[in-house]
Structure formats: structure tokens, C-alpha cells
Structure 1
Amino acid sequence: MTDSKSHGMNNPSRRIEIMDTTLRDGEQTQGVSFSPEEKISIAKALLERVRVDRIEIASARVSDREKEAVTQINAWTREAGFSDRVEVLGFVDHTRSVDWIMETGGGTINLLTKGSEKHCRTQLGKNLETHTQDILETVAYAHTKGLIVNVYLEDWSNGYRDSPQYVFALMDNLRGAGIQRFMLPDTLGVMTPEEVYASIHDMCVRYPELHFEFHPHNDYGLATANVMAAVQAGAAGVHCTVNCLGERAGNASLAEVVVTLKDKLGVELTVNESQLVRISDMVERFSGKRVSANAPIVGADVFTQTAGIHADGDHKGNLYQSRLKPERFSRVRSYALGKMSGKASLRKNLERLGIELTAEQERHVLKRIVSLGDSKQTITTDDLPFIIADVLESESYQHIRLLNYAITSGLDLESTASIRVAVRGEAHTAAGKGNGGFDAFIDALNQVMAHYDYTLPPLLDYEVRIPKGGHTNALTECIISWDCEHRTRVTRGVHVNQVFASMLATLKLINIELEERQTP
């Protein structure tokens, strides 16, 4: 019997293949359908920048649009030298899936076979011998066309548990058929790490010459842990998706898998972890599925310390930091401002802004921050200068002030905005037009700011919130993300009028950037 060490789980030079299936299995997420252009962008990013080993981009024979996307991706990969790293799911249908893949210029078929006797008998209405004959017929035809053949054993996890002899008999029938990879899916996400380890270790021992890969699902929230167990047991590759997309609870998260395998098992990977957040953002935009703020590695809040005691410990000796340093992922650590803030949290943010306060001033500013946080207001580093200015009764950061405005909108009519603002003490008036009141305001404001060689940057995101159960006169919080060249700025305005809240958020951005212009 071969022990786990012989499979290399403690060998730091052991390399594991990462196959990303965002464009195939990830697209089985409810409500997600990538356009051909989006698929091409994601495929390029995964192979060129993230540098995963392989990608699975579609299922054969799905639609004409899918065929168009696959054809375009294959054309690009041939030019870029990635053609051997792109795969398409195909079916045991003799010539049809193979021909479809050949027509798109593809080179690899991932053949979906039945890895459990129940699926074989109930879904196909066939026995092992007939199903094997159909598989071998399709594999042989694929080989005549020059395709690389990998095989999925669908529902393998249940098949191994309920009918292991079926699984072994199927493997015995296929092991000499020239199949490059055997992919073992936990199709319903039912396995524990202990079950994954035992079953994959058994497969590796029984068929030591074969290349096995593990395909997890996250129904019990165990996908990443199961990937670790699979690699420890001897799996040579694992499958994942960006942002854990996939059917039901999704697959294993690419970011979690990469970092866990690297840090916890010391295996060798090709993935460029500094690109994990960028690919996450891209897939989030294209899929319409928001990433949770506390998602490991890629979530908005995962490198933010909230408790004052944590900021104090970091200030004194980085006591609340681990190997998961934000710089690894092209991110920065931040210290939240709110009701749990302490002096260290405030000082960390002041250092970031290059602002110095006396101990007495810090005490007054911290008191205001705690008060705002206690009322559930969100406070960012960009808010801090305004809080300081208010507390210290200073005019700092008041480069532009809105003196008056009027906005008109009507059904099937272009909106107009008339504004009067003071910029560094000088009054200006302007009138703008646009598709809605805020758009008209931006038009008018850009006319004014042109005198100061300033144009508002593009918006990345625009979000409006009101408290749950709020009334018609409730405060509206408008949060705007701006594309400020080399960084993203987020500004916020609060008012009972939604348009005015967005105007306040916009003026806040201008004040910040004008202040930076004059600060040496």
C-alpha cells in the first residue's frame, strides 16, 4: 500500500495543475450568461495575466452564440500559443460533440461520462458494458480527429460510495484508451475532507499510472478544504471558478484554492496571485453576481481592521497580521473608522493622509467618529478631512461649495440643472443638460471646473441606500466609486434628496483632489 507521502503531499517541488471552469461550470450559476465578448476577455485574463494552467470554456452543442464565443477564443489562443490549454465539455454522442469542437478549432474534449451506477442505469437506461462501449467509440473518434481526451466521471463521489465496483470496472475499461486526465467530480458537493482523502488516495493507489483531478462543489461550504484533502491524497490537478461561481452553492473559489495550496501545502503553482483581485472584479461585473465584502482574499473588507485593539497591536508590532498580507494581492491594509475605533485606528488613517493633529484635536475627532459610527454611518478615510474640518471649525478642504441649484426633469424631456458654486472664493454659475438630474448637474459642474483645468473622472459604481423600513423622508446615502487614474476613490453624500446626496458626494471628490493638487 502506498502511503500519502509517496504522492508528494509534503514535497515542496510538487506542482499542481489549476483548471478554471468559470466559463463553463461557472456559467451554470442561476442568472449568469456571458456574452462572447465577455468570455473572450475572461479567457485572455485567466491565461495571460492570472496564468492558470488550463481553462474550460463551454459545453458543446449549447447554442450558436456559444459556438461563436468558443471559435473566437480558439482563434486567439492559436495566435497566443495557448491552444493546448483550452478545453470544452463534450458528451458521449459519438461524433456530434467532437465535430462541434473541431468546427470551433478546439483541441481538447472533456468527455462527460457516468461515474455512478445509479446515473448510468437511471438517467441513461444503460448498463456498464453498453456505456463503456459508447464511451470508447466517442474516444476513438475524437482521437482520429486529433483531439486530446479527458474524462469526467460524473457523480463519482456518490458512485464511489454507493457502487465502488462499478467505478473500478469503468476505470479498468478506460485506463488503456489513451485518456490524458481522469477528472473526479463531487457533483453534489456531499463529501467531507476525510472522504475525499480516502477515496482519491484509493484511486491513486489502484491506478498509479493515471493523472487524476478533483472537481469540487461547495454545497456544504467544504470545497476549499476538500481541495486540500484531494491534493494531499495525490490528485495532480484541481478545478475551481472565479468568485466561487457554479451551480447551486458554486464550485471552489480560485483565490481561496491558490492561496491555501501555496501557504498550507507548499505546492508549486503557476498562478500570479497579484492578479486574483482583478479577475474577481472582472467576473463580478460581467456576471452581475456581487462578491461578499468578507469573501477571503478578494472581498472589500478582508484587509480592514475594525477593532481599535487590532490597530493598536499593528501599530506596536504588526500583532494582528498573518501571511495573508494585502500587498501579495496588490491591495493595502486599512483601519476602519467607526464606533469601535480607538486612537490607533485614527492615527493609522491620519498617517495615510499625511495629517498631524495634537492629542487634544485627536480626542475631539475620535469622539465625532465614534458618534457617527454609533448612528450606523459609514466613514471612510476620504471622509476624515471633512470630519476634522468640521470638528476643528476649519475651512480646510472647502475649495468648492454649492451656493444654490435648481434641477428640472419631466417625462420624455431632457433634464436641466442650473448651479451657483464658489470655487476658492470665486462665484460661478452654469447650466447643464443630461439624462437625469445628476447627469445635468455633472455637465454644469464640468463647465465650471474647466476654468480650473479639472474634469470629473468616470464613475465605476453608483449606489443609493436607505435604511430598511425607512420612510419617504428618510436620509438617502449615495456612494460613488470614481476611476481616478491609478486608484479608485469612494465618496459619499447623505441627504433626504437622492440627487442632492449624489451632488454632495461629487463635491467631496473635487475638494479632495483640489487639496491634493496644492499639497506639495
Structure 2
Amino acid sequence: MSKSISIFDTTLRDGTQGEGISLSADDKLKIAKKLDDLGVHYIEGGIPGSNNKDIEFFKRVKELHLNAKITAFGSTRRKNSLAENDDNLKRMIDAGVPAATLVGKSWDFHVHTALQTTLEENLAMIGDSISYLKRKGLEVIFDAEHFFDGYKNNPEYAAAVLSKAREAGADWLVMCDTNGGTLPFEIHEIVTALTGQLPGANLGIHTHNDCELAVANTLSAIGAGARQIQGTINGYGERCGNANLCSIIPTLQLKMGYHCISGDSLPQLTNTARYISEVANVNLPVNQPYVGNAAFAHKGGIHVSAIMRDSRTYEHIAPELVGNKQRVLVSELAGQSNVLSKAQDMGLNLDPSSEQARRVIEKIKTMEHQGYQFEGADASLELLLREATGEMNETFTFESFKMLVEKTAEHPVVSEAFVKLKVGNENLYTAAEGNGPVNALDNALRKALQTYFPQLKEMHLSDYKVRVIDEQDQTAAKVRVLIESKNFTDTWSTVGVSSNVIEASWEALVDSMRYALLNQLLLENEKSGSNEPRGLVNH
């Protein structure tokens, strides 16, 4: 029995049926290229002729010369008609793709209720449609919709649907858990039965996640003999989503001994998942297995102490196998090991038995008690550790800032910031306007500092989040501000906390610029081989 698995990606079709996901033709082409680089075997592009985006996609995707087979999606011919007269089937052929996914009913309840036809006519619709596409030279993947519900209700008819599709020439027979309500042991029993009834057939599995079982059900089907997986990147899809290929592929390949994609491609998995989440404009859950930012993150001090000796103590695989990386979080739950690990990553000498180490750990815990959170603000943490170890010197000093916010009946709100700073022996006083208080502060800081530190022109704020910490205090509550910043090569996050949202924003904003300057100094020192203390921005 072959241990190779065919990967059928339907992110561009079934995935776009998820709430909040809308992809342009350009988006779909970018994702298709990324999926091809990963090494999937089939990319389902959409429904030809159904909308302008899909029409454009099928026209332009040929220019990419992908290795994966681009697949068009459609349903069987209409009842009591001829396949060669069906506009849906004609559009699939006219799309000029090598393969077609044809969906047909396999649940007798659906045949009677949704199609409102006879069981015999449904079989004829399936057979005629597949035969027609095969005569036109297409590879045909037959998706038996609601197969498991149908099999549980009428196993003879559900099996007859697959037999008819196979007889008509379908290359793949895919069993769909369309409503996502089947359990893993049921999947295994039914697929096992089908492999006996249809010896030698190419069986596939298509599951939905309505019971949080799409991945488990897919693995059960593979264990019972299915050899094609249909799923989406990050589990996108209608209702609760489709089977998540980002979990299925590494589990099959690293733990179950199957071959899904090349070993050279597997380390691209994390980058692919995050890239597609950006294009789809959907935040990737931090705790998503294998590819999430927290998938290999460690917070408990006992855990960190152990992984510093051997990562296998608390990691089920090496994160590098899927292109992810180990992260150590520092918080009020952190022990000495967490801080030492972070310091080690930064190349800092922090003696674990020193008073210095004890003080910095206590400072972190005190700050977290006040509302700071360093798990999502690694840049602020690095600045704190470098200060504690004497790795930074003062470069500029903050003295004061003032905000003016004006709103009139005739004009929109205008924010103006006034900032006093000291660089060396020179006093600076600048003012700048912005479309909000934070933007005004950002503009004023840059105006003051860019003459001395031109590298700040290369950075910009890419995200800004405010979280209320003490909700019971209502408008007097403390807030935590997280700012994400970027330049041409790096992304970093900083944090500020205060009962005043502008002050909290100021803290995070200044830290973002401190870190930009720190990075530049580190690069310069690395090139020169210098070990001089780093520059410090004192706020």
C-alpha cells in the first residue's frame, strides 16, 4: 500500500466561504503561487464563470506555470437534462484547466429534499456528468456531498453513488463530511468498509470542523485507506471551517510516516500559513498548532529550565521542521530560567546567581503586576534587560510633552503635540500636528530626532492596540497600549501602561524608537567588531 498522500487545497474556493474572507483575483493568484511553492498537488481555484474574480483568476493563473494542477469546481448536470447542454459543465471545460472537481449528492434525504428527484435520476446525473468531462480530457475528482450522513442513513445507496462515479471514470472518489458532525471512529469504520467494497479505488476525504474534529476525522480516514486530503490553509471555510492542512500535513509526515510534500518544502509551512493569513486579512490564532506564534512558546519557569537542557522535554517536534521557532515568554509566572534564556538569546551576560539577575526578575514581575505584558512586547523586554545589564548608554533624554486637541463645529478634530527633548547638550523643542494624539506625538518625536538619527525615517508604526486592564474602574481604568513597528527588515512590538491612554501610548512609542536605534547600533557594532555599550533613549 502506497504511503504517498495527495494534497488537495481548496483555500481559494471552500476557504473563501468563511465569514469575513474575501479575496481579489490578485489575492488568489498570490496564494496559488505560495501553495505551489509549498508543494500541494491540486489547487481548487473557484467556480468558472460564477463571478468576475474567478473568471480573471482562471484566465491569469496559466501565466504562472504552476506545478500543481489547477482545478475548477462545479456540480453535476441538472435533473432530466443532458450533460453536453449544461452551462455549468461547459464553463468548467472552457476554463482550460487539467482537472475538475464535481460535486454530487450521496445522501438520499438530500436527493429527495434538495434536488427533488429520484435516486435513479441522481445516479444518472453523476454518471453523465463525469463521463462528459472525461470525454473532454479532464481529470475528475468526484466529491460525494454529505457522504457520511448518507451512508449512516442508507449505506447501500451511498456506496452506489461512489460505484457509479467510479464506473463513469472518476479519478478520485472523495467522501465528504459536509455538515461536520461525524465522529472519528465512525469515519474509520465507514472508510474501512468502502475500501473493501471498492478495492483499488482512489479514495479521498473532505471534512468540516463543526465538532472540532476535522483534523482528527481526516487522520482517521487516512488510517483506513483514503489517499487524498481536501482541506484549507489555516482551516478557513464555511461555518466552523474546513480541515486545517497546516495541522494535517506535518502530523501525517512527521508522526505517521506518510509522504505529503517534500522534506525541503515542509519548513515553508509556517511562512505559508502566515503569508496567507495576511493576504486574507485574518489574524492567525497564536495558539494554532505547528505554525502559530505560541506553538513553541514557553512561559512556566520549570518548563524553560528543562528546555534549556533539552527542548524535547516540552516540545513534541523541533519547531524548525515546520519553519517555526522556539520562544521563551517572560511574565509574572516566569522563573529565573525564562529571563536567562531571553538574555542568552540577546547575547547578554547575566549571571544567574547575581543580585543583578534577581533585581531584573523582580522588576519584571512588579511591572506585570502593574499591567505591563512582555509576552507580546519583546522589544520593550530587550530594552529592559539591556538597561539592567548596563549594555546601554543614554543617547537622548525626554523632558516633557504637551497635547492640544481642538474640535470646532466647522472643522474635524486636530491634534497637536509639543515635545521637549535633550540630545547631548542640546535642548530640542518641537511641535507637530497629526490625525490623532498618537500620530501627533509620533510626528513631533520624528521631527526632533531625525536630524540626529536619520534611520528613524525607515521605520513606521504598523499596528496599535489598546486594552483596558481594570474594567471595573470604567473611565479611570488603566490601559495597556501595544505598538507594532516595522522597517525594511524587522518587526518589533513595545508596550506602555497608564491610566492615561496618551501616556501609555507615549511609553510604547518611545520604546519603539529606542529599539529602532538599538538595532542600528547593534548592526554597526557587529560590522566594526566593537563591544562598546549600546545607545540608550531615556524616557
TM-score in terms of structure 1 length = 0.89
Q: 2:31 aligns with which of 32, 42, 45?
A: 42
Partner AA of 2:400 in structure 1: N
Answer yes or no: is the 8 Å Cα contact 2:148–2:177 preserved in 1.
yes
Question: 126, 133, 152: which is aligned to 2:124?
Answer: 133
Residue deviations 1:159-215 (CA, integer Å, cap 9, x gap): 111111102222332222121111111111222222212211222222223211100
Distance 1:25 1:484 in 2: 35
Equivalent in the alignment of 2:480 = 477
Q: Distance in 1 between matches of 2:400 and 2:371?
A: 29
Q: Which residue of 2 aligns with 1:465?
A: 467
Instruction: Specify which of 112, 115, 118 is matched with residue 103 of structure 2.
Output: 112
1:298 maps to which residue? 291
Which position in structure 2 is the counterpart of 1:256?
Answer: 247
Query: Which residue of 1 is the match for residue 400 of structure 2?
Result: 404
What is the match of residue 382 of structure 1? 379
1:4-63, Cα deviation, whole Å (9 max, x unpaired): xxx45xxxxx21011111111111112222122221211111112x22111112134532
Once the two structures are superposed, the pairs formed by residues 306-455 of structure 1 within 5 Å of their partners are: 306-318=299-311, 320-358=313-351, 359-379=354-374, 380-388=377-385, 396=392, 398-409=394-405, 410=407, 411-412=411-412, 415-424=415-424, 426-451=426-451, 452-455=453-456
Q: Which amino acid aligns with 2:129?
A: T
The answer to whether the Cα contact below 8 Å between 2:126 and 2:164 also exists between their aligned partners in 1 is no
Is the CA contact (8 Å cut-off) linking 1:306 and 1:336 kept in structure 2?
A: yes
Match of 2:75 among 91, 95, 101: 91
Matched, 1:72 2:56: no
In structure 2, relative to structure 1, the CA distance for the partners of 1:385 and 1:159 (3 Å cut) is: closer
1:209, 1:512 → 2: CA distance? 61
Report the counterpart of residue 495 of structure 2 in structure 1: 492
Report Cα offsets for 1:294-338 as digits up to 9, x if no partner: 111122222111110111112234352434222223333122111
Which residues of structure 2 form unaligned runs of 5+?
78-82, 526-539
Q: For residues 436 and 104 of structure 1, do their structure 2 counterparts lie closer, same or farther at Cα, with a shift above 3 Å needed?
A: farther
**Residue identity in the other structure for 1:444:** A
Matched with 2:535 is: none
Using the TM superposition, give the Cα deviation of residue 114 of structure 1 relative to its aligned residue in structure 2, in angstroms: 0.4
- Flag the 1:402–1:70 CA change in 2: closer, same or farther, 3 A: farther
How far, CA to CA, are the matches of 1:142 and 1:349 in structure 2? 59
Amino acid at match of 2:366: S
SS at match of 1:285: helix
Larger displacement relative to structure 2 (103-112 or 236-245): 103-112
Equivalent AA in structure 2 for residue 492 of structure 1: V
**CA–CA distance in 2 between the matches of 1:388 and 1:151?**
58
Deviation at 1:381, TM superposition (A): 3.8
Give secondary structure in 1 for the equivalent of 2:474: coil
Q: Taking structure 2 as the reference length, what is the TM-score of the superposition?
A: 0.86
SS in 2 for 1:481: strand
Q: Deviations over 1:469-510 (max 9, x none)?
A: 452122222212222444321111223343443332221122
Q: Which moved more, 1:99-108 or 1:236-245?
A: 99-108
Whole-angstrom distance in 2 between the partners of 1:244 and 1:33: 15
Give the 4+ runs in structure 1 shifted more than 6 A: 389-392
% of aligned pairs identical?
25
For 1:47 and 1:354, the matched residues in 2 are separated by: 38
**Which letter does structure 2 place at the counterpart of 1:477?**
R
Segment drifting more, 144-153 vs 124-133 = 144-153
For residue 385 of structure 1, report the CA deviation from its aligned partner.
4.7
- Asked if the contact 1:382/1:490 (under 8 Å) is kept, the reply is yes
**Alignment match of 2:4 (pick from 2, 12, 15):** 15
Displacement of 1:103: 4.0
Task: For 1:308 and 1:37, locate their aligned partners in 2 and report how far apart those are by CA, in whole Å.
Answer: 46
Aligned with 2:481: secondary structure? strand
Q: Report the AA paired with residue 352 of structure 1.
A: D
| 8 Å CA contact retained: 2:270, 2:322 | yes
Q: 1:340 to 1:508 in 2, by over 3 A?
A: same
Alpha-carbon distance in 1 for matches of 2:270, 2:6: 20
How do residues 210-221 of structure 1 correspond to structure 2 at under 5 angstroms?
210-221=201-212
Most deviating of 248-257 and 495-504: 495-504
Aligned mates of 2:253, 2:391 — CA distance in 1:
51
- 1:125-274, aligned counterparts within 5 Å? 125-270=116-261, 272-274=265-267
Deviations 1:331-371 (A, max 9, x none): 33122111221111111011112222351111111112222
Are the counterparts in 2 of residues 446 and 454 from structure 1 also a CA contact under 8 Å?
Answer: no
Taking structure 1 as reference, are residues 415 and 119 closer, same or farther at Cα in structure 2, changes over 3 Å only? same
Which of 29, 42, 53 is residue 41 of structure 2 equivalent to? 53
Question: How far 1:389 moved relative to its partner?
Answer: 7.1
Q: Which stretch of the first structure deviates more once superposed, 266-275 or 214-223?
A: 266-275
